[in-house]
Amino acid sequence: MTTVDLRIRQVEAFRAVMQQRSVTRAAESLGVSQPAVSRLLADFEASVGFALFARRQGRLVPTAEAHVLNEEVERAFIGLERVAQAAGQIRERRRGALRIAGTFDLAADFLPRVIALFAREHDGVDVSLLALEPAAVVEHVGAQRCDLGFVVPLIAHPQVRLEALGQWPMRCIVPRGHRLARKRIVTAADCAGEAFVSFLKLSEPRTKIDRIFADSGVTRQMGVEAALAQSIVALVEAGAGIALVDPLSAAGAAARVVVKRFSPVLPETVHVARLAEQSQSMVADAFVRHVVTVLGHLR
C-alpha cells in the first residue's frame, strides 16, 4: 500500500467542509477565505488520489469514499482534542477528566445512571460519555482516546485489560395484555411458539439467548431482529413479539411493556476495559466502584 503525503491543514479543510456542507461556510469556520479552502480541498483530493466530492449542480456532494475517510478523520481529531484537553488540565491544575466509552446499550441507560451518581460526589471532574460498537469501545481504550470502556462481550486487544465487574440477569419483556404478562416468571418453555424479537445474528446476546432455547428444546417463531435493546423494546411495545433484554433497558421501558423475570437465569457480564500497563487514576477507580454498586442493585 502506498502512503499519502497529507498536510494537517488539508485534513482540517476537508473536515470543515464535511461538517459545514459548503466550502464557503467551512472557510468561515476556519477563519480563511473561501478560495483558500477550495484550494486546500483540491490539493487534498490530489494527495489522497481519489475523488472526495462530486460537483453536482455547482455544489459539493461527498462521495462514499469521503464518508469513509471522514470517519477516520473524526477519530484523529478526537486525538487532537485530547491534546487540547490535556493542555487545559495541566494549565488549570484541575483534578481530572474521565472519558468513558460504552456500547450503545450501556450508554443509553446504565452508564448515564452511574455517571449521575458519580457526578454528585465528584464535582470538578469532567465526565464525557461516548457510545460506540463494542469493538470500537475497546479500540478507543487501547488508543487512549478513552480512560474506561464498558462492554458486555469479551473483546481482545493487545493494549487493553478487560475485567468482569458483575452480572445482571436478562429480563423477558412482553407487550401489554400478552398472555405471558400474567405470569410471575416467564420460562423458556413458556416462549414456545411465540413471535420473538431478537438481537442481530452472531451478536453476543443473540448467541446466548438462542443457545438457552436450543438447550430447552423450545422452538420460537423467529421474526424481527435489531441491534439495540432500545429498538427491541420498541418492537415489543408495537406488538412484534416478545424478547429478552438486559434489565436496565427493561426497567427503562417498564411503562411501555411488561417486564418479567426469566428462567433459567441468563446472566450477562459487564466488563470494564482499561489500558493494560498503566496505573489507573483514582478518579477512574472511583468510577468503576460506582459501576459495581449500581450493578449490585440490579440483581
Beta carbons within 8 Å of 75's beta carbon, 6+ residues apart? 145
Closer residue to DNA (CB): 9 or 206: 9
Cα 182 versus chain centre, distance: 34
| Interface with DNA, residue 76, by CB under 7 A | no
Chosen residue from 10, 70, 103, 249 binding DNA by CB under 7 A: 10
The residue (of 55 and 184) whose beta carbon lies closer to DNA is 55
Q: Cβ of residue 291: shortest distance to DNA, in angstroms?
A: 44
Compute the distance between CA of residue 155 and CA of residue 269 in angstroms, rounded to an integer. Answer: 13
Opening angle at CA 8, ends 92 and 20, nearest 5: 85
**CA 102, 263, 260: angle at the middle one, nearest 5?**
70
Min separation Cβ 12 and DNA, Å: 8
CB of 145 to DNA, least distance (A): 25
Task: Output 28 or 210, the one with its CB closest to DNA.
Answer: 28
CB of 66 to DNA, least distance (A): 13
Residue 76 or residue 286: which is nearer to DNA going by CB? 76
Ramachandran angles phi, psi of 226, nearest 5°:
-150, 160
C-alpha cell, 287? 468510577
Nearest CB to DNA, comparing residues 31 and 124: 31
What is the closest distance, in whole angstroms, from the C-beta atom of residue 11 to DNA in the complex?
Answer: 10
Q: Which is nearer to DNA, 24 or 128 (CB)?
A: 24
Please identify, among the stretches 7-15, 82-90, 121-129, 262-270, the one whose residues bind DNA according to the rule CB under 7 A: 7-15
Least separation in angstroms between CB 79 and DNA = 19
Region of 3-11, 64-72, 191-199, 239-247 interacting with DNA (CB under 7 A): 3-11
Interactions with DNA, residue window 24-63 (CB under 7 A)? 24, 30, 32-36, 38-43, 53, 55, 57-60
Minimal distance in Å, beta carbon 52 to DNA? 10
9 part of the interface to DNA, by CB under 7 A = yes
Residue 271 backbone class (left: φ over 0; alpha: ψ -120 to 50; beta: rest): beta
Q: How many residues bind DNA (CB under 7 A)?
A: 25
Binding site for DNA (CB under 7 A): 7-10, 22-24, 30, 32-36, 38-43, 53, 55, 57-60
